[in-house]
A and B are shown apart, each in its own frame.
Chain A
Amino acid sequence: MVISGHTKQDIFRMLSVINDPEIPVVTIFEMRMLRDVKITDKGYEVIITPTYSGCPAMGIIEQDIKMTLEAKGVRPVTVKLVYDPAWTTDWMSNTAKAKLKEYGIAPPLHSSCSNEVFTNNIIECPHCHSDDTVLMSRFGATACKALYQCNNCKEPFEYFKCH
């Protein structure tokens, strides 16, 4: 049986409303965790990739995808997790980076991640835009972020690490 009625673009549009559960101002599409949609005679397969191997949000994202599509009458839906190509912060759109900053998370600094992991990065404060900031903790509430403090406005903030 060939399933008709919904194109790949339709599915992408329906899924573009799903937010990243950890950072609810950006969508899984903007984060590029949503990789592809395959429509076969067996149903709809949504392909996602994790930001980090141990990302605890993947289970929630899978549920959100199924609920969103089933609510629109799209079924059957399967969600497949792929690791290749490995997710990188390079894929994040400028819109996503701007939204992160607005939300109070400094976006990843480098366009590409070399071996440079913690060396002397100057991270701009997302609140007052001062460059006078200091690394407080390399690891934060989620694996993807480090903790900084601004010496100018004194506010703490999170930095989305280059990955």
Chain B
Amino acid sequence: MTQEQALYKYCLRMGDDALIHAYRLSEWCSNAPILEEDLALTNFALDMIGRAQAILDYAGKIDGKGKTSDDLAYRRKERDFYNHLIMELPNGDFAYTMARILFVSIFEYYFFSELSHSADTTLAAIAAKTVKEVKYHMAHATDWALRLGDGTDESNTRMQQAVDDLWAYTGELFETDDATAVLEDRNIAVDMGMIRAKWKTDVTRILTEAKLKIPADGYNQTGSGNGVHTEYLGHILSEMQYLQRAYPEAIW
């Protein structure tokens, strides 16, 4: 695998994560329990769309075939998407959505903090920008985890259920593959082992404070590194890509 091929895949994985998580958060628009949360979740989605655009545009440049971020978002097949499985799972209830933002934002905080020192200056710049935004996502999700976990019996039960259900999808966030190995040798990719320990420490502290039980580590769901997804991604893409598939080259 050449450095260009590895970097292309690495960018798709990051870009797709932001794009698909943003898609799920956008589904809350007009459906959140209170107006303030409608604003918060769509604001997060907007940050992620911006990040996806920057990273996928860069991926298109590396690929060198003239693809834009729009081409990559709207004209790729499911098997060519590399977002982690956790991003594509349905929103579930509000606790489920918040638990996902909590797990993902803590991961992203450490991941992009490290990536901001990458030898790849484009990725380092995007990462520095992303860290500032992710801090707000993390603070918000942490507060909700505490409020729901340490709230009523009902809110605790739901938050615990969300944490338990999502736990098996968190291990995949730290997976490495041929592409990361090539890039780590060149000081471009992030050392996943190091950030995994930091993630676990933070998550344990927050869940404990929220009176939630830490699930036991066991089997981890995996597959997205090879483009193998849950049944949910295809449904997202069939809606997201509908216009470009029905009316190719449509612009506005």
Contacts and interface: CB of A to CB of B under 8 A. Distances in A.
A107 interface: no
Given A138-B140, A139-B40, A54 B46 contact: yes
Contacts of B121: 84
Contact of A86 (B51, B125, B139): B125
A113 B125 contact: no
Report whether over half of chain A's contact residues are helix, strand or loop; otherwise say mixed: loop
Contacts of B125: 82-86
Contacts, number: 73
Contact of B124 (A50, A55, A84, A143): A84
A55 B50 contact: yes
A76 interface: no
B140 A53 contact: no
Interface stretch (B129-137, B199-207, B223-231, B233-241): B129-137
B77 to A, nearest CB: 26
Interface of A: 50, 52-56, 82-88, 113, 115, 117-118, 136-141, 143, 147, 161, 163
B68 interface: no
A118 B130 CA distance: 18
A50 B36 contact: no
Interface string B110-140: 0000000000011011101110110110011
Given A82-B125, A136-B36, A140-B39, A117 B135 contact: yes
B132 A137 contact: no
Contacts of A54: 46-51, 53
A87 B39 CA distance: 23
Contacts of A87: 129
Contacts of B122: 83
Interface residues of B, number: 28
A161 to B, nearest CB: 8
Given A117-B139, A118-B139, A138-B136, A53 B36 contact: no
B146 interface: no
Given A53-B50, A86-B125, 19 more contacts: A50-B129, A52-B46, A52-B47, A54-B53, A83-B126, A83-B129, A84-B124, A88-B132, A113-B132, A115-B135, A117-B136, A136-B36, A137-B35, A137-B39, A137-B40, A138-B136, A138-B140, A139-B40, A143-B43
Contacts of B35: 137
Contacts of B40: 137-139
A50 B50 contact: yes
A24 B50 CA distance: 22
B192 interface: no
Central interface residue in A55, A115, A139, A161, by most chain B CB within 10 Å? A139
A53 B47 contact: yes
Central interface residue in A56, A115, A118, A137, by most chain B CB within 10 Å? A137
Given A84-B124, A86-B125, A139 B39 contact: yes
Nearest to B41: A139
B168 interface: no
Nearest to A135: B36
A117 B122 CA distance: 26
B62 interface: no
16 contacts: A50-B50, A54-B50, A56-B46, A83-B125, A83-B126, A84-B124, A84-B128, A115-B135, A117-B135, A118-B139, A118-B143, A137-B40, A139-B36, A139-B39, A140-B39, A143-B43
A147 B49 CA distance: 23
Nearest to A56: B46
Interface in B39-80: 39-40, 43, 46-51, 53-54
3 pairs of A and B residues whose beta carbons are closest in the complex? A54-B50, A53-B50, A84-B125
A113 B140 CA distance: 17
